[in-house]
Amino acid sequence: MNSKTMRKGTVNWSELPYEVLVTIASRVTCIDDFVVFGAVCKSWGTAATKENFDFSSPQVPLLMLAADEGNDYREFYSISKKESFTEFFSQKLKGEFVFHRSDDFVQ
């Protein structure tokens, strides 16, 4: 919906000035929320850059729940979101300390 077809009195959030978007992006402290912020629309994505995220802000870790022997999938629980999800867990990572990102496993 472009600004010409919007109802009077409504705001087209995709047309916020870049400086405002950068200010908002720099105040998002949770990496998951920052990724979602950048996915809202193209203009918001331009402000969701690594330069605008404080990687030193504390992040709540995911908990990896125990699984049955031979099961290549693990359930992860997000304390902050109070939800769990299942991911494939490579056999080569067994016994290692693992960090999980939404798109990959990092050893």
Residue 5 maps to a domain: no
Q: Answer yes or no: do 66 and 48 share one domain.
A: no
Residue ranges making up the domain that contains 84 = 62-106
Q: Answer yes or no: do 48 and 68 share one domain.
A: no
pLDDT bin (cut points 50, 70, 90) of residue 97 is low
Angle at alpha carbon of residue 75, lines to 72 and 77, rounded to 5°: 155
What average pLDDT does the structure give for the chain?
78
Q: Answer yes or no: do 41 and 66 share one domain.
A: no
Residue type, 39: A
Domains: count for the chain: 2
Overall average pLDDT of the 39-57 stretch? 90
Residue 39 maps to a domain: yes
Location of structure tokens 């912020």? 37
Q: Answer yes or no: do 67 and 95 share one domain.
A: yes
Q: Answer yes or no: do 24 and 46 share one domain.
A: yes
Ramachandran assignment for 88, one of left (phi > 0), alpha (psi -120 to 50 degrees), beta (any other): beta
Residue 6 maps to a domain: no
Q: Answer yes or no: do 69 and 47 share one domain.
A: no
Q: Flag whether the pTM goes above 0.85.
A: no
Structure token digits, residue 80? 């902050």
- Side-chain-facing half-sphere of 67: CA atoms under 13 Å: 17
Q: Answer yes or no: do 32 and 66 share one domain.
A: no
Q: Answer yes or no: do 40 and 66 share one domain.
A: no
